[in-house]
Amino acid sequence: MQELLVVLGLVLFLLGLITGLAVPASKNPRMGVASHLQGMTNGPFLMLVGLLWPLMNLPHVWGVVTVALLAYGTYANWLATQLGALWGAGRRFAPAATGDHRASAGKERVVDFLLASLAPAMIGATVLLIIGVVR
């Protein structure tokens, strides 16, 4: 799990770097900056969790659940904001970043789903991390 988390973090960090280069070409550059920042912050977060993994005291199945939730939450955050940047979507959950941009209803639903579903995933993963460290 430790190596997987570090690799996932490095890949997400790289995606954040590449996303930063693409900001000027985005339909919504403000959301592009948000996507860049998601990669730049969530990538190191995954790496940090990977480095702390030896301190975890969770049953194997809960460790797998924790890593899956972390991977989903961090990558969904980057993807939702990246799609929002490309499509001009995200009005419901990120109105300040979306501004006056509008996307089709289907594109808005995709971004809404990602943004709404990543929050419980990250909250659940964080609770499991706390339990794993405290045990």
H or E stretch including 33?
helix 29-52
- Judged by DSSP in three states, 27 sits in coil
Would you place residue 51 in the very low, low, confident or very high pLDDT band (cuts 50, 70, 90)?
very high
Task: State the average pLDDT over residues 52-81.
Answer: 96
- Name which of 38-42, 66-70, 109-113, 122-126 the model is least confident about: 109-113
Residues 55 and 13: their CA atoms lie apart, in Å, by: 23
Please report, for residues 23, 105, 120, 125, 130, the alpha-carbon distance to residue 92 in angstroms, rounded to integers and kept in the order given: 21, 11, 17, 24, 31
Task: State the average pLDDT over residues 31-41.
Answer: 95
Domain boundaries, the chain: 2-134
Count, in order, helices (H) and strands (E) of the chain.
Answer: 5, 0
